[in-house]
A = this chain, B = another copy of it.
Amino acid sequence: MRDAATPPAPTHLDPAELRTLDAHWRAANYLAVGQIYLMANPLLTEPLRPEHIKPRLLGHWGTSPGLNLVHTHLNRVIKARDLEALCVWGPGHGGPAVLANSWLDGTYGETYPDVGRDRSGMERLFRQFSFPGGVPSHVAPETPGSIHEGGELGYSLTHAYGAAFDNPRLLVACVIGDGEAETGPLAASWHATKFLDPVHDGAVLPILHLNGYKIANPAVLARIPHDELDALLRGYGHDPLYVVGNDPATVHDALAAAMDRALDRIGDIQRRARSGGETERPHWPAIVLRTPKGWTGPREVDGLPVEGTWRAHQVPLAGVRDHVDHRHQLEAWLRSYRPEELFDASGAPRPDVLACVPEGSRRLGASPHANGGLLLRELPLPPLERHAVEVDKPGTVLHEPTRVLGGMLRAVMAATARRRDFRVVGPDETASNRLEALYEATGKAWQAETVGTDEHLSHDGRVMEVLSEHLCQGWLEGYLLTGRHGLFSSYEAFAHIVDSMVNQHIKWLRTARRLPWRRPIASLNYLLTSHVWRQDHNGFSHQDPGFVDHVLNKSPEVVRVYLPPDANTLLCVAEHALRSRDYVNVIVAGKQPCFDWLTLEEARAHCARGAGAWTWAGTEDDGEPDAVLACAGDVPTQETLAAASLLRRHLPELAVRVVNVVDMARLLPPGEHPHGMPDFEYDALFTPDKPVIFAYHGYPWLIHRLCYRRTGHPHLHVRGYRERGTTTTPFDMVVRNDLDRYRLVMDVVDRVPGLGVRAVALRQAMADARTRHHAWIREHGTDLPEVADWTWTG
């Protein structure tokens, strides 16, 4: 080990405490190794035989001793200071460590009674780990005390901050692996120091664990000079403390001292801020822990160094079942922890081992914050009547839907002013997305410097703006997982930045829903706006409606997608989303002026059905229509209603039904999604055999993917975005992608048989209008007056 700083002499801990801490650490290490290797003989009451060893050795040893060390020392300070604490384990692929600690503190056995603190429980703990039908090798929803999946790396610190916001009594420790520290999201997360309010938020204690190696490579932060690392952490706004070594007693002492110093400083910071005296942004402590990878494991295997190297990353000794030398080495490794001192004959941990463990809900495995549903309160939502817009006649009045929503969100923000359990996050776009009414009820969280031209910044604001979708997503996830509510408003195209994060959150929810002890949490709600059809300022680079496709690939019990066509339907959808639990709700809605089609009452009824015919817009009688004009999304709805108007005027004998879809999952069969529409209902709405021209907001094939099993699918013709994007006017965008009113009319005429000469003339007129559009826009740079001035006339 390269000692960047000399650790203090072992003087912080008294010998008895050092002994009990070390006993706890050894016990956790023993249990971690046991999980990776053993399926029987957990207490080593007999020599290891092949049949004690699992046939498939899977898991990550390398990070486990470090996690065990941190957990042991968190136990100590939690108990000594009666702390309310949570820990986010960034290197959560070291699942054996966190499971070992949860088993030791008793929470595992309380959660899963057949895995209690006795011999048979220990055997089950070992066997189930990474075993088919057992538990994942990572920290996961199944792990008591966890809010952070140890899968994809990069999100520990942003989750930790999310958990700390509006939890003023909470300490959130966060172990960051030196591998994870190389990721973008983690690198950006450090700057959350500028967003954490020492008065209303809890504290985050980052513990950067430098064990030097990833799977196969050194880690960057472990291989820069001490001065550079120190500068980096100070640059992030931290006051770092260093713990370095490979001698257990020395490291125990240094880590205990560092934790005490860190917690003393956190206490000082909070006291000063909360007494009202201090308004300067504090320099929060952070701990750098530099210990060997796979510490206490095999030093060498087959002549190659393992401890302290990348070879310790997963399973240091392979072929243990068949290879007697390796089996002996494993046994010696296990016995090096002196299990007989740690567990009694029944398999229970001895009192020394448990001396540092806190009690009840103070245990990290039992924190109610890690099972947020326990703490969740119903969100106080205002009556929508207060925020709905008046609609006397459809398609004549314009509102910016997200601005209308902003009024409702302002009311929610105001109603939670004391409770502080609602936040809105977004990458610098809350006002751009027309939600600025929020600022009448709260500010934007900001602890950095301010100048006179700033607006709406405040230490205690509950709107969070940072130009990082990763941070927005991670903060909100951490906030929701600890039992609060929120909304993420984003440009539609850039939601893809968090594709992989939402994957992981959906996986978390899908698994958590199946665990009876995990209580439902508030849904993760996206408002995707500044959408593909209205990128007037930005063009092609900002045009991508595919987040919906991405989300609809995932577990149907979790995902919901809504495309409200106007302001009142947006209100209804948002109310539903904010009330819901354990979902990921994706709402796509425009921020530009958009016609209002439905009164609040009509919007409620429409949203309750999720999809329905707008009989006032069509021309059908009681019988079956000749064609269906279906639509989903605000711009396609406008074009569809304009097409319906044209058909009404020019081909009144044609019976056209207009169908609007708000809830995309309604299109799926019931077996594929809980919201799926039965076939008889689908057939009644869309007909089994008439042409359906579906104007859809996004990639057209999504509609085919949802509807391919329906009887009427061969008659379904979808228009949508086909990557024909550029910098142009809104109407030119729909023309380029063949989603415009003229094209939709042509599509109907092309598909309904037996139309006469008037239809031929209409088709030609529509084609001419498109030609006229192209000429006009080249000349004027604006839309045809007949389009720009259009209102719905029925």
Q: Is A457 an interface residue (CB 8 A)?
A: yes
0 or 1 for each of A138-179: is its CB under 8 Å from B? (1 = yes): 101000000001111110000000000000000000000001
Known contacts A314-B537, A782-B56: does B708 contact A777 (CB below 8 Å)?
no
Contact for A504 among B39, B130, B133, B541, CB less than 8 A: B541
Known contacts A223-B450, A231-B232, A708-B708: does B215 contact A56 (CB below 8 Å)?
no
Contacts of A701 in B (CB 8 A): 553, 705, 708
- Smallest CB-CB separation from A702: which chain B residue? B705
Q: Is A679 an interface residue (CB 8 A)?
A: no
Question: What does DSSP make chain A's interface, helix, strand, loop or mixed?
Answer: loop
A611 → chain B closest CB, angstroms: 19
Contact for A541 among B138, B305, B493, B713, CB less than 8 A: B138
Contact for A184 among B150, B183, B450, B555, CB less than 8 A: B183
Find residues 443-502 in chain A having any chain B CB closer than 8 Å to their own CB: 444, 446, 448-451, 453-455, 457, 465-468, 470-471, 493-494, 496-497, 499-500
A219 to B218, CA, bound (A): 33
Find residues 175-211 in chain A having any chain B CB closer than 8 Å to their own CB: 179-180, 182-191, 194
Q: Is A137 an interface residue (CB 8 A)?
A: yes
A137 to B535, CA, bound (A): 11
Contacts of A713 in B (CB 8 A): 708
Q: Is A260 an interface residue (CB 8 A)?
A: no
A209 → chain B closest CB, angstroms: 14
Count identical subunits in the complex.
2
A417 to B140, CA, bound (A): 45
- Smallest CB-CB separation from A465: which chain B residue? B217
Are A224 and B188 in touch, CB under 8 angstroms? no
Are A782 and B723 in touch, CB under 8 angstroms? no
Q: Is A8 an interface residue (CB 8 A)?
A: no
Contact for A217 among B214, B310, B444, B728, CB less than 8 A: B444
Are B510 and A500 in touch, CB under 8 angstroms? no
Are A55 and B218 in touch, CB under 8 angstroms? no
Are B499 and A536 in touch, CB under 8 angstroms? no
A457 to B149, CA, bound (A): 31
A190 to B224, CA, bound (A): 13
Known contacts A236-B232, A781-B55: does B136 contact A541 (CB below 8 Å)?
yes
Which one of A16-24, A427-435, A517-525 contacts B?
A427-435
Contacts of A623 in B (CB 8 A): none
Are A428 and B132 in touch, CB under 8 angstroms? no
Are B232 and A150 in touch, CB under 8 angstroms? no
Q: Is A54 an interface residue (CB 8 A)?
A: yes
Contacts of A468 in B (CB 8 A): 182-184
Are A215 and B538 in touch, CB under 8 angstroms? no
A152 to B530, CA, bound (A): 13
Are A428 and B540 in touch, CB under 8 angstroms? no
A685 → chain B closest CB, angstroms: 20
Contacts of A186 in B (CB 8 A): 184, 188
A305 to B452, CA, bound (A): 10
A–B pairs, 20, beta carbons within 8 Å: A56-B782, A58-B727, A132-B727, A136-B541, A136-B726, A182-B467, A216-B428, A216-B430, A216-B432, A217-B457, A228-B234, A228-B235, A494-B500, A496-B503, A497-B499, A499-B499, A507-B541, A546-B553, A550-B550, A708-B713
Given contacts A184-B471, A231-B234, 4 further A-B contacts (CB under 8 A): A93-B538, A215-B429, A218-B454, A223-B449
The 10 A-B residue pairs whose C-beta atoms are closest, nearest first, are A151-B541, A232-B235, A184-B184, A187-B187, A496-B500, A223-B448, A231-B235, A182-B467, A184-B188, A132-B728
